[in-house]
Amino acid sequence: MASNKVLNFDNLNPNVKTMEYAVRGPLVIRAVDIEKELAQGAKYPFKTVIKANIGDAHAMGQKPITFIRQVLACVTYPKLLESSEFPEDVKEHARVILGGCGGKSAGAYSQSTGVDIIRKHIAEYIERRDGGIKSEPEDILISGGASESIRNVLKLFVNRTSNKQVGVMVPIPQYPLYSASIEEFNLGQVGYFLNEENKWALDVSELERSYEEAKNKYDIKVIVVINPGNPTGQVLTKKNIEEIIKFAHKHHLFIMADEVYQDNVYAEGSEFHSFKKILVSLGEPYSNLELASFHSVSKGYMGECGMRGGYVELVNMDPEVYVNFKKMISAKLCSTVLGQAVMDTVTNPPKKGDPSYDLWLQEKTAVLKSLKERAKLVEQAYNAIDGVTCNPVQGAMYAFPRVHLPAKAIEKAKSLGQEPDFFYAMQLLESTGVCIVPGSGFGQKPGTYHFRTTILPPTDVMKDMVDRYTNFHNKFMKEYS
């Protein structure tokens, strides 16, 4: 029956209808429903739902970093600045942040680009990280998580006056924020495959293949790189990053470097190198390339997803474009000042000798050490299961195992009009309460099937999850072999 509403499904923006976001898709909706049913006494073969679908550290039981929350407490309730309960450096951090706020209150709007003193601290953090390479506060814009900045930068490439859609090169597998936003903004997705046989490394020959195949269909202007990788957990080598930068220069591309997992590097011999540092170290003409680099408080050792703090540093952007970019984001007023305050604690942490330093370092080290242990545990656990292969989790917070599904299971899925890995993941959820994301939501080579799982559950929950998964997988393979 046709709706008599002014806005109805028939006249809804077609790009909103076609966009998908797998990380919070149908499986997660079903997992939430099962959770509610369990709470109301429904009987399932399991007592709890394990949500391994999303990189939400605190939801998985990670405790907040004391320093971050103490500064936040003082920023939100300045009366605590008079209390002797908090260390002096915490109170000083809060005073500096409040000093940058209108009326010395976090309840005031900030500039659209963010609180000036926090932008300054972010620039200083980037300089320390990159060995002294200059970073200007004016090139930094604070946003509600990195996602908002990523979407804002992509929006700049929407051009309805052109005959061709603007093409955006994205890694496959990719984080669904990119595919969803590219679809929503009516841009063109140009996928390049990561090499699963070589620990999800990035081959320049594959970039060239992807570019050549798509260049007649799309006006390709952007290359997206996620490092450390999501969902694949690889960490790019310095040489790899140099090759990508040279490729971007050759084809006159704008680089979007998603570097939100820069603190999450676990594998021996792996190291995070920022795109900006490598860009500058290569010298001209490469150091003149346009680059947007993103960071967030949601990942790392902080895991403060709900605080929605992030930033973009824009390098070599056309000055006129930058003026218009700031005009565009001003329509949203500003990102939450509390999220900005958390970003300040991350980029301007306690220094050696400060009263908060020892506890901060102890908590930070413990989180990253635990994640490193779980990264190894996950890789070993999945590789021990027949019909599953899993690359090393070098960084980030996810594993992306490959499941070698039997032909009978693939046929069954197709008869139901489902992707085989979606069918597999839904069966897993209904049988065991374990919620993962099928690889089809991230993209994968045709004929291969994967799923993404986080490494965030505490060790006891992780072991429970692996046990549930192993029992399910063995039964599934037996049934469909």
Q: Is residue 9 part of a domain?
A: no
Query: What's the rounded Cα separation, in Å, for the pair 284 and 273?
Result: 19
pLDDT digits 0-9 by tens, 132-153: 999 999 999 999 888 889 888 9
318 with 466, same domain: the answer is no
- 329 alpha carbon, distance to own chain's centre: 21
CB 176 within 8 A of CB 442: yes
pTM, entire model? 0.88
73 with 208, same domain: the answer is no
pLDDT digits 0-9 by tens, 441-478: 888 888 899 998 888 888 888 888 889 999 999 999 99
Tell which wins on pLDDT, 321 or 245. Answer: 245
Residues written for the chain: 481
Return the beta strands (E) in 266-363 as ranges. 291-296, 310-315
Q: Is the pLDDT of residue 19 over 70?
A: no
Q: Is residue 7 part of a domain?
A: no
How many domains would you assign to the chain?
3
Q: Compute the mean pLDDT over every residue in the chain, rounded to the nearest whole number.
A: 89
Question: What is the predicted pLDDT for the residue at 20?
Answer: 62
143 with 274, same domain: the answer is yes
Percent with pLDDT over 70 in the chain? 96
pLDDT digits 0-9 by tens, 151-180: 889 988 887 777 888 999 999 988 888 888
pLDDT digits 0-9 by tens, 394-448: 988 888 999 999 999 989 999 988 889 989 999 999 999 998 888 888 888 888 9
Question: What is the predicted pLDDT for the residue at 101?
Answer: 77
From 81, 101, 121, give the residue that closes a domain. Answer: 101
Query: 182 in helix, strand or coil?
Result: helix
CATH number for the domain harbouring residue 92: 1.10.287.1970
Query: 156 in helix, strand or coil?
Result: coil
93 with 136, same domain: the answer is no
